[in-house]
Chain A
Amino acid sequence: EVQLVQSGAEVKKPGESLKISCKGSGYSFTSYWIGWVRQMPGKGLEWMGIIYPGDSDTRYSPSFQGQVTISADKSISTAYLQWSSLKASDTAMYYCARHVGLGWFDPWGQGTLVTVSS
């Protein structure tokens, strides 16, 4: 079974750094792009960027370029999303998802809730 399992919920203060993870299993991790999607409280889905774990080729949405860093460690089949200095507006649920075929997302991880509050 193809699965993406994300790290647990985080509560952070503004200005702190954070790295959340997404571990893939049940398929060749290096052969598929992995994407990250933000969902702010009560809002819709926003595509943040994608990474190809095979060679770490990374693409960002213009809205998130420079705001986050996407990386991957293919030796442990894990992708990451990180912030160097969190803001309250980063409070959201973050999902990872595998890109399949021409680029639809399937499956999705269970989500990581990030709360940034002083």
Chain B
Amino acid sequence: EIVLTQSPGTLSLSPGERATLSCRASQSVSSSYLAWYQQKPGQAPRLLIYGASSRATGIPDRFSGSGSGTDFTLTISRLEPEDFAVYYCQQYGSSPTFGQGTKVEIK
């Protein structure tokens, strides 16, 4: 099973700042098989990024994904108030797994 480790656990930032979230895999993941999700309190997760760098329908371009192999990054260029949430990475190989999540909170 591929283990995904996200860092940091919590990111405290102000609106307008840049957020950089990391997702590290225990073994190489094909870039085509890495996704990012956003989850707000009391809501279901929402797909943000698939294939490591493709934005899902309706996702603002301040969200971007990058990376390959074992290191992937989600970047939010300028945080909006609605972006404060928990973010999960996921690999969807033969047995999908999720990272433990990064909480982006208001500083």
Instruction: Give A contacts to B, CB under 8 Å.
Output: 35, 37, 44-47, 61-62, 95, 97, 99-111
Contacts and interface: CB of A to CB of B under 8 A. Distances in A.
| Max chain B Cβ within 10 angstroms of own Cβ: one of A35, A37, A45 | A45
Give 4 closest A-B pairs by Cβ, nearest first. Answer: A103-B92, A106-B47, A108-B44, A104-B35
Interface residues of B, number: 24
Contact of A104 (B39, B47, B97, B99): B47
Interface in B66-107: 88, 90, 92-93, 95-101
Contacts of A110: 44
Given A47-B96, A61-B95, A105 B101 contact: no
A8 B47 CA distance: 23
Contact of B45 (A46, A100, A103, A105): A105
Given A105-B37, A108-B45, A44 B99 contact: yes
A43 B3 CA distance: 16
B51 interface: yes
A104 B37 CA distance: 10
